[in-house]
Structure 1
Amino acid sequence: MSQQAGYSPSFKRPAEIMRMRRKRARSDAGVFSSPSGQGSTGSPGQSGSSPACVRPFSPGPLFNTQNRSGGGIKRRNPFANIENTYSPKKKFLIHNDDGNAEAADSYKMKKSTEGDEDVSTQCQGVLPFSARVTEVEKQEHRDISSKECVPFCEDDSLFEEEEEDVKGPLLKSPQAIAPASISPPICTEYPADWSLKTRLLFTSPLSLSWAEHPKAQEEALGLSQHCRAHFSTLPHSVQDPRSCSELRCAFRQSLVYWQHPSLPWISLFPRINAERSFTGKSTPWAQDTALQHSLMSEWAVSLSSLYSLLKARLCPYFYLCSYQFTVLFRAAGVGGSSSITALISPTTRGLREAMKAEGIEFSLPLIEERRKSREQQNLTVHQGEEEEQEEKAQECSELKEGEACRAGDEGENDGYNDDEDGSFSWLKEMGVQDKIKKPDSITIQLRKEGHAVSLDHKPESVVCVEGSHTFTLINFLINCRSVVAAAGSQAGLPPTLLAPVAFRGATMHTLKARSVNVKSRVGSTFQNISTLEITGPVLPSSLCTVATLLRSAQKGNFSAALYTHIPSAVMNTHTTKQQYTGGSVDLSGCGLHPASIQQLQQPSSLGKTALTHINMNNYSYTWKN
């Protein structure tokens, strides 16, 4: 079948097909009426003035000029003109220099003075009715384009059957033609995360092998720079990281942390639910009381030294990890607080009662936040009730009864009333008072404090201590017996102290780093991916420093999976009395990288969650929590 190149039937509308079938059923002898109302004396389905080589309504051979007879012959599609498939007068998009998209009318209807003229001679390059744009529609699109760059998109279904050689700029989506008018925001920092990490896994398309196997001189220089708090200035992008000695030294410097106590044969982090790591290990202090007193004495000296450094703003923060809770101490100006703060999680009712007995004032941030949200909801409901006071006047009696019922429910939630004997008077009337056991005073007390006990070992039990009460908390922790396990594999072992700077009795440790090259499947191909794994107690400042170094070494393209120590995830919660002071507190002498100081000064926005993924693409951060 000979066919002109560049032509394919594209205008198929179900409504038109049904209309043609109804006309064909009513026709006899293959006579059809033309769309313009003129009777056809030629071949059926073709007007007298239509040109040759016209495609029928559905795909098939081309009509010729000879007459056809017989019913059921399909009429031609009056709009399927060969010329309109590649007519330059089609509707197209004009993109001005200022970025506005303007819809232009691609066809012009010729006014016909003869009523009997064929449709094919009336219209030159006619598009289907769904693609016609009236003057009102054009004006609306111009108004939208003048306010904001909103591209006008045609109905792509009209052109879905066009051949590939016919497709051009006129048939593409305007989003693919016009440049993006709005660029995504650039985030140079990720939110401060105060949770402890047990493992970091960095991946990058560029090699990360420069981070391992340091030379002896590079490792020594990195440790020396850490002790002296000297930091190298790296360029925005390092061309050859493997030959950059400053980068490798700075990386070794970022892996250093300080710990007390230090037992080489036992891993002292994490401590919560870590009985398996202590099982089968030598614990000579478990049965030796004198050794336990010696360990606790040295631990108390180290804790006092850390608090003194914290108070002088020479140590920005430190962690105390016991077998049942974790404490985060932060200096003034860190975490958006103008005073020293301490967060303890998880806690129990017994620990909170012991802190109250020592005169330590504390708050429950998550509980208070929940209470405030409820008060806000009640206030909103109260305002709505005031607005609908007239409507609810008719239900006043029902509201009073409901308030009485609610008051009774609150009394039951709070516990038993003082006259408990009177509440069981109905049992005496029934004669079964001796068969029913009444709750004793201990049960009544537990019911009254049931809401406090229900918080134990949950994230909502996090406690915040601020200001001078943190010093009382230090003395409480030194003298409190509950910080040391009395039985089990951790019996007699003091809590672990972790800090980013040196303190009295501390031992220098470094995180373990290992680089591996792997192949990752991307679609149908495999792509080389370089990975860097860092294990150990990763402090917030170490994570920030490593991410800063990778930004320069990997040219702003890497991603990281963060494995969080779950009990410390709630450390990102807001304290109730936070007052961000900006740069009013000088932390230049705390021994951290300037980028870490700037990030850790900001209040955390993660709530009680922690970061799980960090991704940097073209020097811009995205993250998940």
Structure 2
Amino acid sequence: MAGKACPWAQDEALQQVLMSDWSVSFTSLYNLLRARLCPYFYVCAAQFSVLFRAAGLAGSAVPTAAIAPTTRGLREAMRSEGIEFSLPLLEESRTRKQKSSEESLETETPSDDDDDGSFSWLEEMGVQDKVKKPDTISIQLRKEKHEVQVDHRPESLVLVRGSHTFTLLNFLISCRSLVAVAGPQAGLPPTLLAPVAFRGGTMHTLKVRVGTLEWDHDVFSLEVLGPVLPHTLHALTLLLGPAQRGSFRALLSPHEPSAAFNAALPQVKQRVGDVRQDLPPCGLHPRTLEQLRQSPTLGKSCIRLLEMKDFCYTWKA
């Protein structure tokens, strides 16, 4: 679309119509998700992406929504709307550092939270008037600096659970930063990607090229271009396994900002059997659906090389 005329970029009335139709499609997808008729779907916006997952997927008994990457401004806006969320990768990093610090028995240093504490020890030394105490504003700025440092990084991944995903739906529909203000996508609503049909959705096929490697005519190549969704990748492995007699190699080119979606969900107390939600196949292969049920184990990384030898898988992240 680069270099072409974009009539919607300057036409506010047209933008409102597009956004209204998009909101209907977005709400339709969310309702399918809540009814467990859609396992997951993506919202691909200009500044961030959102992955909505139905109850029963990724080891969660309730619907979840993951947003990455995020900024402090976006997180503050979500808090102001009453949306409860967690930062699983950031919390995991803090826990790991704390554990490492305890194991190494390093001398503890005062934390930022202690900066506004008592300074009675200065009085005991008689130098309280010679030392400038940090004021409340300085302490707040230091705390905000630490929060801003994770912006646009995998650690900025935000996780929303349960009924708060519905509040997130309404928040996103009215979120100004959801639509790009410049570039070829200026004025266009975000792209919705889902493995099932939804209101206003259109079907697009991936581009496929088949050939042989020049240095070895016995080795065939299959190139798939476009947004390859998780269920599509798993379906390809189910096809290539028996077709290639248990031996093939796949090189993957992931969308880097979406790698954080592989983060494991925080452990929440759940009754036995709660996670085993009655999720219909929704057109997916039963083995693919079973794979999507499992808890993620890749952290903030993603698979870049997938290889099968003698029907056994190995992979590299």
TM-score normalised according to structure 1 size = 0.46
- Alignment of 1:505 with 2:200, yes or no, is yes
Structure 2 residue identity aligned to 1:308: N
Q: Deviation string for 1:70-101 (max 9, x for gaps)?
A: xxxxxxxxxxxxxxxxxxxxxxxxxxxxxxxx
C-alpha displacement of 1:507: 0.4
C-alpha displacement of 1:425: 5.7
Structure 2 match to 1:559:
249
- Alignment of 1:599 with 2:299, yes or no, is no
**Contact residue 59 and residue 275 of structure 2 kept, 8 A:** no
**Contact residue 320 and residue 498 of structure 1 kept, 8 A:** yes
2:141 to 426, 434, 446: 446
Structure 1 match to 2:212:
517
C-alpha displacement of 1:488: 4.0
Determine the C-alpha separation between the residues in 2 that align with 1:352 and 1:427.
36
C-alpha displacement of 1:470: 0.5
Structure 1 residue identity aligned to 2:229: L
Determine the C-alpha separation between the residues in 2 that align with 1:469 and 1:304.
15
- Alignment of 1:467 with 2:162, yes or no, is yes
- Alignment of 1:373 with 2:96, yes or no, is yes
C-alpha displacement of 1:443: 6.2
C-alpha displacement of 1:337: 1.0
2:57 to 334, 341, 351: 334
C-alpha displacement of 1:589: 4.0
Determine the C-alpha separation between the residues in 2 that align with 1:368 and 1:441.
25
* Secondary structure of 1:327 counterpart: strand
2:39 to 286, 299, 316: 316
Determine the C-alpha separation between the residues in 2 that align with 1:450 and 1:424.
27
* Secondary structure of 1:457 counterpart: coil
Structure 2 match to 1:362:
85
C-alpha displacement of 1:424: 10
C-alpha displacement of 1:286: 0.8
- Alignment of 1:616 with 2:311, yes or no, is no
C-alpha displacement of 1:416: 7.0
Determine the C-alpha separation between the residues in 2 that align with 1:414 and 1:495.
43
Structure 2 residue identity aligned to 1:287: Q
Determine the C-alpha separation between the residues in 2 that align with 1:291 and 1:543.
36
1:568 to 258, 270, 290: 258
C-alpha displacement of 1:280: 1.1
Cα distance, 1:542–1:443 mapped onto 2, change above 3 Å = same
Structure 1 match to 2:278:
586
What pairs up with 1:472-491 in 2 under 5 angstroms? Answer: 472-491=167-186
Q: Mind listing any 5+ residue stretches in structure 2 that lack a counterpart?
A: 120-126
* Secondary structure of 2:291 counterpart: helix
**Contact residue 332 and residue 338 of structure 1 kept, 8 A:** yes
Q: Deviation string for 1:180-236 (max 9, x for gaps)?
A: xxxxxxxxxxxxxxxxxxxxxxxxxxxxxxxxxxxxxxxxxxxxxxxxxxxxxxxxx
C-alpha displacement of 1:414: 6.6
Number of residue pairs the alignment of both structures matches: 309
Q: Mind listing any 5+ residue stretches in structure 1 that lack a counterpart?
A: 1-265, 267-278, 386-401, 429-438, 521-525
* Secondary structure of 2:61 counterpart: coil
What pairs up with 1:280-295 in 2 under 5 angstroms? Answer: 280-295=3-18
- Alignment of 1:577 with 2:267, yes or no, is yes
Q: Deviation string for 1:483-524 (max 9, x for gaps)?
A: 11234443211111000110000001111111011233xxxx
Cα distance, 1:459–1:536 mapped onto 2, change above 3 Å = same
Determine the C-alpha separation between the residues in 2 that align with 1:284 and 1:440.
52
C-alpha displacement of 1:582: 8.4
* Secondary structure of 2:70 counterpart: coil
Structure 2 residue identity aligned to 1:311: R
Determine the C-alpha separation between the residues in 1 that align with 2:235 and 2:8.
37
In our comparison, the structure showing a higher alpha carbon Rg is 1
Q: Deviation string for 1:141-189 (max 9, x for gaps)?
A: xxxxxxxxxxxxxxxxxxxxxxxxxxxxxxxxxxxxxxxxxxxxxxxxx
C-alpha displacement of 1:463: 0.5
**Contact residue 414 and residue 448 of structure 1 kept, 8 A:** no
**Contact residue 314 and residue 591 of structure 1 kept, 8 A:** no
* Secondary structure of 1:598 counterpart: helix
Structure 1 residue identity aligned to 2:57: V
Structure 1 residue identity aligned to 2:194: A
Determine the C-alpha separation between the residues in 2 that align with 1:372 and 1:441.
27
When the two chains are superposed, the root-mean-square deviation of aligned CA atoms in Å is 2.9
**Contact residue 60 and residue 275 of structure 2 kept, 8 A:** no
* Secondary structure of 1:314 counterpart: coil
Structure 2 match to 1:71:
none
C-alpha displacement of 1:604: 1.4
Higher relative contact order (CA 8 A, sep 6+): 2
C-alpha displacement of 1:371: 2.5
Cα distance, 1:460–1:581 mapped onto 2, change above 3 Å = farther
Determine the C-alpha separation between the residues in 2 that align with 1:334 and 1:542.
16
Determine the C-alpha separation between the residues in 1 that align with 2:259 and 2:114.
32
Q: Deviation string for 1:22-42 (max 9, x for gaps)?
A: xxxxxxxxxxxxxxxxxxxxx
Structure 2 residue identity aligned to 1:609: S
Structure 1 match to 2:122:
none
Structure 2 match to 1:169:
none
Structure 2 match to 1:222:
none
**Contact residue 337 and residue 581 of structure 1 kept, 8 A:** no
* Secondary structure of 2:78 counterpart: helix
Cα distance, 1:602–1:287 mapped onto 2, change above 3 Å = same
- Alignment of 1:543 with 2:233, yes or no, is yes
C-alpha displacement of 1:462: 0.4
* Secondary structure of 1:285 counterpart: helix
What pairs up with 1:6-45 in 2 under 5 angstroms? Answer: none
* Secondary structure of 1:363 counterpart: coil
Q: Deviation string for 1:401-425 (max 9, x for gaps)?
A: x77xx33xx35x8767899xxx996
Determine the C-alpha separation between the residues in 2 that align with 1:307 and 1:361.
18
Determine the C-alpha separation between the residues in 1 that align with 2:273 and 2:197.
27
* Secondary structure of 2:37 counterpart: coil
